[in-house]
Amino acid sequence: MSLRWPYYHVVPKEFKTNLAFRRKLITTANRSRYTKHEIWMACKRDLLFWINTFAFGLEPRPPDDPSERRDTRFPFITWDYQDATLTKLATCLGREDVLIEKTRDMGASWMVCLLFLWRWQFYNQETFACLSRNEALVDNVGNPDAIFSKFDFVLKCQPDWLTPRFTRKKLLLLNNDYGGVITGESTNEFAGSGGRNTGMFMDEFAKVPNDEAVWQSALSTSKCHIVVSTHLGLGTAFYKLKSSIKEQVRLHWTLHPLKREGLYKTVTGQVRSTWYDAECGRMMNAQQIKQELDIDPAGSAYQFFEDSRLRPIELAQRREPVVRGEIDYEDGTWNPREFVKAPEGRLLLYVPLDINNRPPNIPLVIGMDNSTGSGSSNSAAVGICPLTGEQVLAFTTPNMMVHEFAQYMVALCKWWKGEDGKAPLLIWETPGPGEFCGRKILEYGYVNVYYRRDDLSVKKTVAPKPGWVTTAESKKTLLEEFRHAVYTGAVKIHDREVYKEALEFVYQEGGKTVEHHGTKSSDPTGARLNHGDRVIGAALSWWVAKKKPGAPVAVKELPASCFARRRKEWESRDAD
């Protein structure tokens, strides 16, 4: 459905002509109560007519040209892109959510405020809520950028006969004639809970602390949340909402007639303009340009692995596997029969096999990052030799159920076990699918696994449970250690996909956390999403490999009551 505006076409859009039209309309209305009523009805029926005839905006910034004189008050004359945006917002109001991603200074906040004020002013019993990251940005008398300051300014500039009687209090605007209410509050984990609104405005949502909790709290308060923001990386709730909110508006600077003056393309195909060049000169870094101007979610966050440092390392270390294939193993015992070479095999080996298709007799640590096996994202395993820091193997698949992945890892480790009895050490991530995978690995009788210790403490005491516990702090530490090893050459990664994933890790929350954006991928495994699984597997592998380079890996003795130990003893008796 699209709204039609019946009177907007009569409004002139040229600046001086528009001002003259406004003066004439008000002068004519002041002579007749009937004319006032007719104009009031036209404003009620036509949002764009009301804005372009009676709304004023406030621009406290001086003009670019010092010789130009300009009043800080200006008549709000909409551009074509604003007409289209306001029409979409009016159509969706009260019915469905809308997400607006934008270049800064495109008038998005003004458009939402004008829409809410229009409905509040001319319609019965409609309620609206406005949220921003702190209260001063919602309602602050000394801040013209505050949301309620916009409401106040528009009402102040209207003729009295068009404006309803209203009550104005802190964070409240009440229409005494028609019962409309506009409230405001800061975004907190209880924001909007308990209220019911025709529409909710969530301004600069990417910058809101606890954004996911805020969204969940506000979700039931309205059918229409208008979520507006520039991007601030890929780990924000605002970015995630792009995949779930159907109605979206993209306000790129190229839509603005003044900002696109002098538009041109560089030899690389980038679109720029005189305004864009000037703005880039004022920005501190490339990330700010991506955030404020380019609507680039990935570029708007700081890369964890710097492209300029990682690319030369990739060129020096990346290589094709020596051989690829699959491990053929027995069901039930998961004992390996043989390694089967296959051009499309999922197991990549970066070391040669002997004439019997056996792996070299070298120690190995295998780090695992599990998925559920639904095809959405990968389960990945990366093997690193602690003697050399070389990546030895990689195994990646999106379509193995967790227990099947555990069986494959057990068979792989048994196949790699050397003549000296040294078996690879397995380390996995927990909680999540990795925890269940680890339980199955122990249940299948494989005991050479990483047992949890407090690696960030002085004592480094071993905990009774296997697996690496992932928290925001521990994940950042894990990836920092791996990054340092890659940069210094202590670890040598050969898989090109690890480098591709690494470049998609970004800092979030001002550098406090590190996240992978998990976007749609063209992964060779066919996984629909990329979550940085190979990088996590490699980082886990290195976390253990760096601690005991070349030393035999200690095997933890399982308790006598453990099922895995009883199974191992049973298999030994059966072999005798």
Is pLDDT of 190 > 70? no
Give the pLDDT band of residue 211 (cuts 50, 70, 90): confident
Share of the chain above pLDDT 70, in %: 85
Please answer whether residues 120 and 180 qualify as being in contact, where contact means their C-beta atoms are separated by less than 8 angstroms: yes
Give the pLDDT band of residue 92 (cuts 50, 70, 90): very high
Place of tokens 């954006």: 517
Which pLDDT score is estimated for 554?
A: 43
**For the segment 248-272, what is each residue's pLDDT rounded down to a tens digit?**
999 999 999 999 999 999 998 899 9
Is pLDDT of 373 > 90? no
**For the segment 289-317, what is each residue's pLDDT rounded down to a tens digit?**
888 899 988 776 677 888 788 889 999 99
Strands 336-341 and 379-384: unpaired
Cis peptide before 363 (omega within 30 of 0): no
Q: What is the mean pLDDT of the chain?
A: 87
Residue 532 DSSP SS3 = coil
Which pLDDT score is estimated for 572?
A: 54
**For the segment 473-502, what is each residue's pLDDT rounded down to a tens digit?**
889 999 999 999 999 999 999 999 999 888
Which pLDDT score is estimated for 520?
A: 43
Is pLDDT of 539 > 70? yes
Which pLDDT score is estimated for 337?
A: 92
Place of tokens 């380390």: 427
Is pLDDT of 127 > 90? yes
Give the pLDDT band of residue 31 (cuts 50, 70, 90): very high
Which pLDDT score is estimated for 452?
A: 77
For residues 257-281, one letter each, b for 16 or more C-beta atoms within 10 angstroms of the residue's C-beta and e for the rest, the string is: eebbeeeeeeeeeeebbebbeebee
- Could you give the CA distance from residue 133 to residue 188 in angstroms, rounded to a whole number? 8
Give the pLDDT band of residue 557 (cuts 50, 70, 90): low
User: Who contacts 92 (Cβ-Cβ below 8 Å, separation ≥6)?
Assistant: 98, 224, 247
User: What are the beta bridge partners of residue 370?
Assistant: none
Which pLDDT score is estimated for 559?
A: 55
Which pLDDT score is estimated for 2?
A: 47
- Summarize the confidence of residues 86-93 as an average pLDDT: 97
Residue 75: Cβ within 10 Å count:
18
Written as six digits, the tokens of 171 are 């964070």
Residue 552 burial by Cβ neighbours in a 10 Å radius (0-12, 13-18, 19+): exposed
Is the pTM for the entire model greater than 0.85?
Answer: no
Please answer whether residues 130 and 184 qualify as being in contact, where contact means their C-beta atoms are separated by less than 8 angstroms: yes
Q: Where are the alpha helices (DSSP H) in 139-193?
A: 147-157
Is pLDDT of 208 > 90? no
Residue 439 DSSP SS3 = helix
- Could you give the CA distance from residue 278 to residue 326 in angstroms, rounded to a whole number? 56
Could you tell me which of 194, 168, 167, 171 has the C-alpha nearest to residue 183? Answer: 171
**For the segment 407-436, what is each residue's pLDDT rounded down to a tens digit?**
999 999 999 987 667 899 999 988 888 899
**For the segment 500-509, what is each residue's pLDDT rounded down to a tens digit?**
888 888 776 6
